[in-house]
Copies of this chain bind each other. A is one copy, B any other.
Amino acid sequence: FGTRDYSPKQMAIRERVFTAIINCFKRHGAEVIDTPVFELKETLTGKYGEDSKLIYDLKDQGGELLSLRYDLTVPFARYLAMNKITNIKRYHIAKVYRRDNPAMTRGRYREFYQCDFDIAGQFDPMIPDAECLKIVHEILSDLQLGDFLIKVNDRRILDGMFAVCGVPDSKFRTICSSVDKLDKVPWEEVKNEMVGEKGLSPEAADRIGEYVQLHGGLDLIEQLLQDPKLSQNKLAKEGLGDMKLLFEYLTLFGITGKISFDLSLARGLDYYTGVIYEAVLLQQQNDHVEDPVSVGSVAGGGRYDGLVGMFDPKGRKVPCVGVSIGIERIFSILEQRVEASEEKIRTTETQVLVASAQKKLLEERLKLISELWDAGIKAEILYKKNPKLLNQLQYCEETGIPLVAIVGEQELKDGVVKLRDVATREEVNIRRENLIEEIRMRTSQL
């Protein structure tokens, strides 16, 4: 039904990714919050446009009407308004729910993780926005997913563009939805939708068509600031001015090489009010001739200055900007890579197996492992009274345990434990009182 279990191996990959992302969020000084998996239904109503039909409702079993959260942004805004917080930098990693048609081969599920980082507060322009892009850049570089591109645009530039192209105000949002499809379908189809379904004049559509094929950097921003039509539009001018400032900050961060100001980027959600962005992975074509093609979005976000105000009884606004990392697609890519490489992923961290070479030594194994646990050593035994030594060694091979501590009659008499290195098969007797130190030393590089 569109959800999945995570096996220990998948969890090991997932934890690597989470660790990289959480380290980055913490590096940028973020706090962490958590919110419930369900919200009042009314909290989610009217926030997601056409996608509202994908919300999961709980059965009315008496009490309030509840829905499973659709993203982490709306609960965050509700949290800020409810607690009158006007200033916070937080991350939140949790599952969200959509009654979508699952496409499990492409890493799309009805239950999936989102990793969100947001900065809320009244600040000087574009500084937090630039930090969000720096974060995307750091995470995608760190995860070594291959080449990527971060597309940037601004809702005000889009709205200004629609205005100067002759789109009526009432059609801004729906035409914006059409533009949003440009990463998946060619311009001709999008134009047909605008003209055929949405009743836009072909001339207006063609004027949009010219703008949305533009992409570049500071040079394009300067060019559009000189554009006779756009420069006359107040919104577009504001958006372009901020875009210029953003690129100046990104230049200081040294990351403009992977950032493209792209007039075709629209993003679906209603609540964005300023800068928007989306990161895509690029896949080099096999023949190395064509341009790299996008294989899908792995992060996205933008500025939403009006959302918190929707939850405040007095409508007080808290400006916000944030980014969401598309963790499920990243999992899929890394899972496939692990499968292909036949890399062995350890699913436990056990440092030592406590084993015995003869029978009737369960009590001695239990005493020794108890000492190791109490000293903080990660240790296992086989749950058998009289396991064969071969089975114990095989267990280490299979699960990647690097050391075996072997107790036997002779070792007990001599006050030692035989410590075996599973990889090299070397064995040395270690005095019992030195065993813990020896295990720590041998496994500290791992």
Q: A377 contacts B27, CB within 8 Å?
A: yes
Can you sample 13 A-B contacts with CB below 8 Å?
Answer: A5-B35, A5-B79, A6-B33, A7-B83, A27-B379, A28-B380, A37-B97, A58-B58, A58-B59, A61-B99, A127-B384, A252-B363, A252-B370
- Cα(A391)–Cα(B298), bound, Å: 37
Q: With A60-B59, A373-B138 given, is the CB distance from A26 to B348 under 8 Å?
A: yes
- Cα(A19)–Cα(B3), bound, Å: 27
Across the interface, which residues of B come within 8 angstroms of A35, CB to CB? 5-6
CB distance from A264 to the nearest CB of B (A): 29
Q: B5 contacts A33, CB within 8 Å?
A: yes
- Cα(A217)–Cα(B365), bound, Å: 23
Q: A33 contacts B56, CB within 8 Å?
A: no
A376 interface hit (Cβ, 8 Å): yes
A30 interface hit (Cβ, 8 Å): yes
Q: What are the nearest 7 A-B pairs in CB distance?
A: A123-B383, A8-B31, A3-B36, A29-B380, A57-B59, A6-B34, A29-B350
- Cα(A31)–Cα(B12), bound, Å: 9
Q: A29 contacts B252, CB within 8 Å?
A: no
Across the interface, which residues of B come within 8 angstroms of A26, CB to CB? 348-349, 378
Across the interface, which residues of B come within 8 angstroms of A253, CB to CB? 366, 370
Please provide the chain A residues from 370 to 390 with a CB less than 8 Å away from any CB of chain B in the complex. 370, 373-374, 376-381, 383-385
Contact of A3 among B8, B38, B90 (CB under 8 A): B38
Chain A: interface residue total (CB-CB under 8 A) = 77
**Binary interface encoding of chain A residues 352-371 relative to chain B, with 1 for a CB under 8 A from any of its CBs, else 0:** 00000000001100110010
Q: B379 contacts A1, CB within 8 Å?
A: no
Q: A27 contacts B66, CB within 8 Å?
A: no
- Cα(A7)–Cα(B79), bound, Å: 9
A63 interface hit (Cβ, 8 Å): yes
Q: A40 contacts B1, CB within 8 Å?
A: yes
A128 interface hit (Cβ, 8 Å): yes
CB distance from A2 to the nearest CB of B (A): 9
A82, A252, A380: most-surrounded residue (chain B CB, <10 A): A252
A254 interface hit (Cβ, 8 Å): yes
- Cα(A215)–Cα(B303), bound, Å: 63
Q: B11 contacts A134, CB within 8 Å?
A: no
